[in-house]
Amino acid sequence: MEEICIINGPNLNLLGKRQPEIYGSLSFDKFFDQLEKIFPDNKIHFFQSNSEGSIIDRIHEFGFSENTGLVLNAAGYSHTSVAIADAVAAVNSPVVEVHISNVFAREDFRHKSLIAPNCVATLSGMGLYGYQAAINFLLQRS
């Protein structure tokens, strides 16, 4: 696998500012710089949107490439979006679902992911390290 596309959903643009006790104090832009240094031999793309349709468009854009894996943190849409779940089911590229917090230790509505059944793996509660672990997993599968 040569390329990885990280797709972050709603409110994840606020990482480093929003509830640091849950999500940490590091912005995703700074964390992304670290990921690029950890994986210098791979092209890593990053996209964040608060809009469901934009997330689906990006899944479609990258999800049919042979040498691409997707790391998807659909955030709150994980629990509500049939449309994103359908987009994940439709693409050929493997998708790993990531959640920064342990969704199972939070509100009951977060315990069910509509996306997870269409993913090759789900990581939850590992903080930002979950993204690195997801990339490692995808690279080892190829």
Active site (catalytic) residues: 23, 99
The 3-state DSSP composition of the chain as helix, strand, coil percent (nearest 5) reads: 45, 20, 35
Integer CA distances (angstroms), 55 to 50, 78, 92, in order: 8, 12, 16
The residues, any chain, with a CB within 8 Å of residue 65's CB and separated by 6 or more, are 3, 93
Q: Which of 55, 69, 85, 57 is nearest to 133 (CA)?
A: 69
Pinpoint the alpha helices (H) of the chain.
20-23, 28-38, 52-63, 82-90, 129-141
Residue with tokens 């990581």: 123
